[in-house]
Amino acid sequence: MREVVEIMYLTKEGFVLNGEKYERCIGPIPATLLKRGWKKRYDF
């Protein structure tokens, strides 16, 4: 139960995930545009 209290801030405060540090070390991260992903997933 202690863990729940420790991560409670995730539900109360907004946050943004950023891959900038990763990209500096590894290189560009390939990404799929959301629209293209939805189309590929739901157009059979």
What's the mean pLDDT when you consider all of the chain? 84
Q: Which residues are within 8 A (CB) of 2 and not within 5 positions of it... i.e. 6 or more apart?
A: none
The overall pTM is greater than 0.75: no
Q: Can you tell me whether residue 7 is helix, strand or coil?
A: coil
| Burial profile 6-43: b = 16 or more Cβ within 10 angstroms, e = fewer | eeeeeeeeeeeeeeeeeeeeeeeeeeeeeeeeeeeeee
User: Has residue 10 got a pLDDT over 80?
Assistant: no
> Domain residues of the chain, as ranges?
17-44
| pLDDT tens track for 17-30 | 788 888 899 998 88
